[in-house]
Amino acid sequence: MMRRSENKKKQLNSKAVVVGGSIAGLACAHALLSTGWQVVVVEKSTGPTTGSPTGAGLGLDPLSCNIINAWLADSAPLFNTTLPLTIDQNQVTDIDKKSSCTLTRDEKFNFRAANWADLHGLLLESLPTEIFLWGHQFLSFCISDDKNTVTLKAKILQTGQVIDIVGDLLVAADGCLSSIRQTFLPNHKLRYAGYCAWRGVLDFSGNGDSETIRGIRSVYQDLGKCLYFDLGPQTHCVFYELLNKRMNWIWYINQPEPEIKGNSITLKVSKETIAQMQEEAERIWVPELVALIKATKEPFVNVIYDSDPLEQIVWNNAVLVGDAAHPSTPHCLRSTNMSILDAAVLGKCLEKWGSENLQSALAEYQSARLPVVANQVLHSRRVGRIKQGLSLSDRHPFDPKSATAEDCFEIQQKNVPFFSSIPDILLSK
């Protein structure tokens, strides 16, 4: 096998077409460019996005932070745009007394809290602008008979023109509703988790001494370094602080599956629906958390889906990454971390094998990632059902008011499968 430096030179003429300009797509662009591949990112948004107006929070594990820092060649940018999450705490709220007590507390948690738009912007600004095809809607693709090239058709939204984009590798980073995955697996369906999530980010910049902020800090004194999970009867809420004086919160509610319109799992909601949600919050949560929820402008609803693990994520010279490969519920903070690790492992496999051994590289990527993501998706599904008090085949529905230490074991982040594992290929030189 060629040495890696020789492989990198040989890959200078190899071209990957990445469909999707979200965090998974940008991560793949970083990973592939670092190995010497040419990269084109096809994204239907008409320009660089800063995320939704309300934003969304996420947690980065230590390995993801190290990978991003290596891509940026500097740890300062990520450090300066995130906050530490050194504590993972699960607690129960008494619906009658409106008070909370701790179920589990891990003070050796080592994540970083980020805003989605901040992380996306950080990855984006460090990539060459010329690799992006903004305002290009992916339509279809075909793989050549000799399996050596792939041709995409994309519509330029501004003009309506349809163009062909030819590459050696197709990277599907087009999200949990992936149309590329649907091409290979037309009968594969997402699985509704049984609940939806209200979520929002409260921006309290310039108003840090408000009654709402003083109240929430008085009750949740470790905000700024703690990932809080508050469990109620058949429901739970997660919240933590983000950089630049923002509070991120998510509240999960059991309900029948809503109707999804279009290609989005995010629902727009009316003022009346928001008012009903706030009224229900008053029934369940402590007043200080209710005040945080009420103060948040434009909260929105995510319908929660995941997917039974796929048996393959590679077809010839096409590969799935991120949520296209493993849609997951959000309870174990795995979605973004799995996407970043997908990209890193894919890049290292391509670097190891060289473009002339693309099939071997993709086979190693698949064998390295499938067991990990399958276990993490199923574990996150299980944790979600436990915290929502839903049925499981091997245990009674979880009651946080009477839960034992054994009952609470699985809901801690540190018990996620492969929680601190580093893939062998990332350790090799």
Question: Residues 337-374: pLDDT tens digits?
Answer: 999 999 999 999 999 999 999 999 999 999 999 999 99
For 34, other C-beta atoms within 10 Å of its C-beta total 18
CB 184 within 8 A of CB 290: no
Global pTM reads: 0.93
Domains along the chain with CATH numbers: 4-75+118-189+307-427 (3.50.50.60), 85-114+192-305 (3.30.9.60)
Residue 401's φ and ψ, nearest 5 degrees, are -75, -25
* Confidence check: pLDDT of 9 > 70: no
CA 156 to chain centre: 28
What b-and-e string marks burial along 48-80, b requiring 16 or more CB atoms within 10 Å of the CB? ebebeebbbbbbbbebbbbbbeebbeeeebbee
* Confidence check: pLDDT of 5 > 60: no
Note the pLDDT of residue 406.
Answer: 87
Note the pLDDT of residue 354.
Answer: 93
CB 390 within 8 A of CB 346: no
* Confidence check: pLDDT of 209 > 90: no
Confidence of residue 260 (pLDDT cuts 50, 70, 90): confident
As a whole-number percent, the residues of the chain with pLDDT over 70 amount to: 95
As a whole-number percent, the residues of the chain with pLDDT over 90 amount to: 83
What whole-number distance in Å separates Cα of residue 252 and Cα of residue 278? Answer: 13
Confidence of residue 158 (pLDDT cuts 50, 70, 90): very high
* Confidence check: pLDDT of 35 > 70: yes
CB 93 within 8 A of CB 231: yes
- pLDDT tens-digit map of 293-325: 999 998 999 999 999 999 999 999 999 999 999
* Confidence check: pLDDT of 199 > 90: yes
Shortest CA distance to 5 belongs to which of 35, 37, 39? Answer: 35
- pLDDT tens-digit map of 262-292: 677 888 889 999 999 999 999 999 999 999 9
* Confidence check: pLDDT of 30 > 70: yes
* Confidence check: pLDDT of 52 > 60: no
Note the pLDDT of residue 47.
Answer: 83
What whole-number distance in Å separates Cα of residue 170 and Cα of residue 177? Answer: 17
Note the pLDDT of residue 1.
Answer: 41
